[in-house]
Amino acid sequence: MKGLARSRTLVESGHGAEAGRQASWWLPAELPSVRRARRLTRATLAEWGFEDQIEVAELLVSELVGNALDHTRGQARLSFAAVDGRLRCEVEDEDPELPSMRAVDVDAESGRGLFLVDMLSNCWGSVATARGKAIWFELPAFADAHVESLDALEAIAA
């Protein structure tokens, strides 16, 4: 894949789906990177045994990568980590401005990404980095803890 770097590290803790795992990719500053990020999300979570989290993670990763590409010119880094019952997804970009949720007009066609992240994840945040900033969210790494997020997603779609 052009312009895509990948690193994967297994962290020693736990067993099976509980074992700590990390994966990271650089995504080029081009529109197809959003689709690539969704594919990487599906493939990684399926490989790690987190199939029940794929739908929500894919939606939220798509939002964050799309925002990174809209608001910065450089590459974005997509990272996943699964440790101690949590799946953490992170998108780093070169824009140093930290995000904030703002009121969005009902008729607006954009501006709801962080609301989705806030509603569907267990927790989320952002941090300044040497390159710019990273926005992250966490989901439970176990299927039974994920039912509330799926119910919230279905309510939004209705």
Count of residues for the chain?
158
The 10s digit of each residue's pLDDT in 89-110 is: 999 999 999 888 777 777 666 6
**Residue range 115-124, pLDDT digits in tens:** 889 999 999 9
- Output the pLDDT for position 90: 97
The pLDDT confidence band at residue 3, using thresholds 50, 70 and 90, is: very low
- Please say whether the beta carbons of 143 and 150 come within 8 A: no
Q: Between residues 76 and 145, which one has the greater pLDDT?
A: 76
The residue-averaged pLDDT of 61-81 equals: 93
Domains of the chain: 5-157 (3.30.565.10)
- The two tokens of residue 143 are 């299927």
Sheet holding 76-83, edge to edge: 5-11, 20-27, 76-83, 86-93, 133-140, 123-128
pLDDT at 32: 94
User: Is pLDDT above 80 for 158?
Assistant: no
Does residue 44 register a pLDDT over 60? yes
27 pLDDT higher than 70: yes
Cite the beta strand spans of the chain per DSSP E.
5-11, 20-27, 76-83, 86-93, 123-128, 133-140
